Amino acid sequence: MKYWLTPLVVTLFIVSTLFLATAYSPRDVSLTDMYNEPNYESIARYLMSTRKRSCIRRGGSCDHRPGDCCFSSSCRCNLWGTNCRCQRVGLFQKWGK
């Protein structure tokens, strides 16, 4: 019994591997349907959603765009204009606005 069980298990393993390795091809979708004109409405909707941007919280790096940092924070850089971070608004910056 042991001698015929091992080849049976190996054969079932090979058959299942070959079955799972075959490409999936749905019958109801033809190749011409996949390459039709793109749906411009869904593309426009996707592009509009990518323009939305949340604010950067304190400590996050920013790039000096207006409204980039969250409320009561401003984008501050070092002396050479690099390493910009969102930091708490200073006392005189609050008075100026």
For the chain, the domains span 51-89
pLDDT for res 74: 87
Instruction: Please check the confidence at residue 77 and state whether its pLDDT lies above 70.
Output: yes
Q: Two tokens at 31? A: 């190749």
Q: Residue 20 phi/psi, 5° resolution? A: -75, -25
Q: Two tokens at 13? A: 């393993």
Report angle CA 49, 52, 53 to the nearest 5 degrees: 140
Q: Tell me: the pLDDT tens digits for 18-65?
A: 777 666 655 555 555 555 666 777 777 766 655 556 788 888 998 877
Residue of 17 and 82 predicted with greater confidence? 82
pLDDT for res 18: 73
Q: What whole-number distance in Å separates Cα of residue 87 and Cα of residue 75?
A: 6
Name residue, tokens 């850089």: 77
Residue of 77 and 23 predicted with greater confidence? 77
Q: What whole-number distance in Å separates Cα of residue 34 and Cα of residue 61?
A: 42
pLDDT for res 38: 66
Mean pLDDT over each residue of the chain, to the nearest integer: 75
pLDDT for res 3: 76
Q: Residue 78 phi/psi, 5° resolution? A: -80, -175
pLDDT for res 85: 92
Q: Two tokens at 26? A: 């749905």
